[in-house]
Amino acid sequence: MKPELDIARETRARDILDLAPRFTEHDAVRLNRMFRGSSTQEMLEAVIRDNLAGDLAVVSSFGAESAVLLHLVAGVDPRVPVLFLDTGKHFAETLAYRDTLVERLGLNLVVLTPDAQDLAKKDETGLRWSYDPDGCCEIRKVRPLEKALAGFDASFTGRKAFQAKTRANLPRFELDTSDGAGRLKINPLIDWTAADINAWFAEHDLPRHPLIAQGYPSIGCSPCTSQVADGEDPRSGRWKGWDKTECGIHKPGEEPFL
């Protein structure tokens, strides 16, 4: 497990050495063209082994489908850091599932936590999710992840087009415009179908998240995750009752809004 102190130290060193954006929109377009027609495995091997995107990390929630991307990346290089946001609000089943996958796949887990001062000032009761879910996500997810990603050039996400209409047109490679640093956001599974995901689980005997069998096809923090009925959008159980579809780690303007 890579401590946050090391990430912060690397970030400071990077800022001293090079303040220019790492990548541009042109780079994202070029990479999408380069890997047009390539399989996910071919793309991952080239990007990781040939260092095409610089220092890489996987951002994983250890949710319902996370094992597939983690298995693919670990098969190329298990040393790639896997960033997990421990918000303090996860299901106990998610934390246990995380530990199972880390041991099974030999993952290089990096646990990110909210800033203690932020929590004390803005969510002292721990109930901000109940009246301001955007603010809760900002404190517990967005800020810790932004701090950690400052030490990387690109990140892998597990987003897939079939998960929601708002994800239908995402490319494999896109520019993360959240802070002007010019990082790449890479979506290796964007064109995978639900059948593809299920087949990979079966073929490689990967363990399933225990909450799937209880009607949770998309799993986030426990207070803001509900069961989903058959036929409903898999992400419809997230922030039910709120005009909210994403936690905020994917910004509007980076792609068709998620």
Percent of the chain with pLDDT over 70: 78
- Over residues 133-142, the pLDDT tens digits come to 899 999 999 9
Domain extents in the chain: 4-210
Amino acid symbol at 246: E
pLDDT at 19 over 70: no
What one-character-per-residue DSSP string does the chain give? ---HHHHHHHHHHHHHH--S-S--HHHHHHHHHHTTT--HHHHHHHHHHTTTTSSEEEE----SSHHHHHHHHHHH-TTSEEEEE--S-B-HHHHHHHHHHHHHHT-EEEEE---HHHHHHH-TTS-GGGT-HHHHHIIIIIHHHHHHHTT-SEEE----GGG-GGGTT--SEEEE-SSSS-EEEE-TTTT--HHHHHHHHHHTTPPPPTTGGGT-SS--BGGGB----TTS-TTTTBTTTSS--S-SSS-TTSSS--
105/204 Cα distance (integer angstroms): 11
For 179-238, the pLDDT digits (tens) are 677 899 999 999 999 899 999 999 999 999 999 999 888 899 999 888 887 766 666 667
Half-sphere exposure of 91 (CA within 13 A, CB side): 21
The Cα–Cα gap between 89 and 201 comes to 27
For the segment 159-178, what is each residue's pLDDT rounded down to a tens digit? 887 665 555 578 899 998 77
Q: CA 147 to CA 125: how far, in whole Å?
A: 24
Of residues 240 and 178, more confidence is placed in 178
Residues annotated as catalytic are 247
* Class level of CATH domain 4-210: alpha beta
Report d(CA 197, CA 69) in Å as an integer.
10
